[in-house]
A and B are shown apart, each in its own frame.
Chain A
Amino acid sequence: MINQAVLFAAEEGERSGLDLVLPPLAEVVGGTIAFIVVLFVLTKVAFPKLREAVEARQNEIEGNLKSAEASKTEAQGMLDDYKKQMADARSEANRVIEESRQQAEQVRKDVVAKAESDAEAIVARAQEQIEAERTRAVSELQGTISNLSIELAEKVVGRSIDASTQKDLVDAYIRDVAGMSTNGGRNN
């Protein structure tokens, strides 16, 4: 290399124009050979390793992608299950709430019906008692009036029966008794 550098330096002193831009032929050949060698080495050694690494990396990424996809699918399934469970739970809760509401409504209706029934029975009993009391009071009043009327009648009749009336009554009695013999008798 040192020799080549010296050669180039020696030759530079003799070159001009485009030659100053273009490398010397020996350098091009050397460089080409070196490039070919490097390219060969890279192709045979480095590139396969690099390709393997890339492929491995690609496989790993694809695996990760598949795994992620599976996880996503699984998560989606779980999410669906969760949503379904939530929907079921909500539906169950609604059903329970509706049942409770219906039961509460039924209980309320039963309580109201029983209260109405009890109230009607109480009113009916009260009316019966009032009616019985009224009937009893009317009966007692009628009895009292009857007794008073008859007691009054006894007094009035007792005072109004004079000797003449008594005689008529006795005569009528005698006629009745005499008539009994033909009528078959009468016992009081």
Chain B
Amino acid sequence: MASAGLITGYAEALFSVVKAEGDLERVEDELYRFGKLLESNNDLKQALSEPGIDRSQRVKLLEDLLADKVSPHTLGLITFVVASERGRQLPDILEELGELAAEARNSVVAEVRSATPLDDKQRKALAEALGQATGKNVEVKVLVDPSVIGGVVAKIGDTVIDGSIKRRLEQLRERVGENR
């Protein structure tokens, strides 16, 4: 397990580069989404951190996977971390990066999972509602997750506000289990 200092150090370095290169919003968003993709995809995470796989192969894998989907800055930053043999810590580094960027704007990140994308109006309304609920300035980052089925799950730090159909079905399952 990497130390918090190492993760914060890499995150701060990446944040500095992103700020310096401009296009902050897009790169930050792409990095955040890629970090969440890695969290849910163990095979990809393993391929990027497995010592038995050559560094050039990992870089080639990233290029094949992301070249036509993300900006060159985003790909360059991810490749830098993976080439530095920190592929295993990449999800934590990218999450920390998102939090640093939000903090710089005096905000906190709300990770919102929804079965379908939210429109701008919904995003704005949701950010305002979460801001009212937490008393903080909230930046909403929406991840499309079909397992949610319907509704929305928001996670701010350690706080989870779950309004998904998935959660309601789980509660139904728990209630049925208790009544057996």
A interface residues (Cβ-Cβ under 8 A, vs B): 139, 142-143, 146-147, 149-150, 153-154, 157-158, 161, 163, 165-167, 169-178, 180-181, 185-188
Which residues of B are found within 8 Å of A170, using beta-carbon distances? 114, 118, 122, 126, 151-152
Q: Is the CB of A176 within 8 A of B163?
A: yes
Q: How far is the CB of A68 from the nearest CB of chain B, in Å?
A: 107
The residue that B165 contacts in the complex, of A167, A169, A176, A178, with Cβ under 8 A, is: A169
Residue among A170, A178, A185 with max Cβ neighbours from chain B (10 Å): A170
What are 16 A-to-B residue pairs whose CB atoms are below 8 Å?
A142-B176, A150-B176, A157-B150, A158-B150, A166-B114, A166-B151, A170-B114, A170-B122, A171-B125, A173-B163, A175-B129, A177-B126, A177-B129, A178-B132, A188-B160, A188-B163
Q: How far is the CB of B58 from the nearest CB of chain A, in Å?
A: 36
Question: DSSP majority for the A interface?
Answer: helix
Which residues of B are found within 8 Å of A157, using beta-carbon distances? 149-150, 165, 169
Number of interchain pairs (Cβ within 8 Å): 91
Q: Is the CB of B173 within 8 A of A163?
A: no
Q: Does B48 contact A (CB under 8 A)?
A: no
Q: Is the CB of B161 within 8 A of A177?
A: yes
Q: Does B41 contact A (CB under 8 A)?
A: no
A180 to B149, CA, bound (A): 23
Residue among A147, A161, A186, A188 with max Cβ neighbours from chain B (10 Å): A188
The residue that A186 contacts in the complex, of B116, B126, B161, with Cβ under 8 A, is: B161
Which residues of B are found within 8 Å of A154, using beta-carbon distances? 149, 166, 169
**Sample of 6 further A-B pairs with CB below 8 A, known A157-B165, A171-B122, A188-B163:** A142-B180, A146-B176, A166-B114, A166-B150, A170-B126, A178-B132
Q: Does B7 contact A (CB under 8 A)?
A: no
Which residues of A are found within 8 Å of B132, using beta-carbon distances? 177-178, 180-181
Cβ < 8 Å to A, chain B residues 126-180: 126, 128-130, 132-133, 135, 149-152, 154, 159-163, 165-167, 169, 172-173, 176-177, 180
The residue that A173 contacts in the complex, of B151, B166, B176, with Cβ under 8 A, is: B151
A154 to B151, CA, bound (A): 13
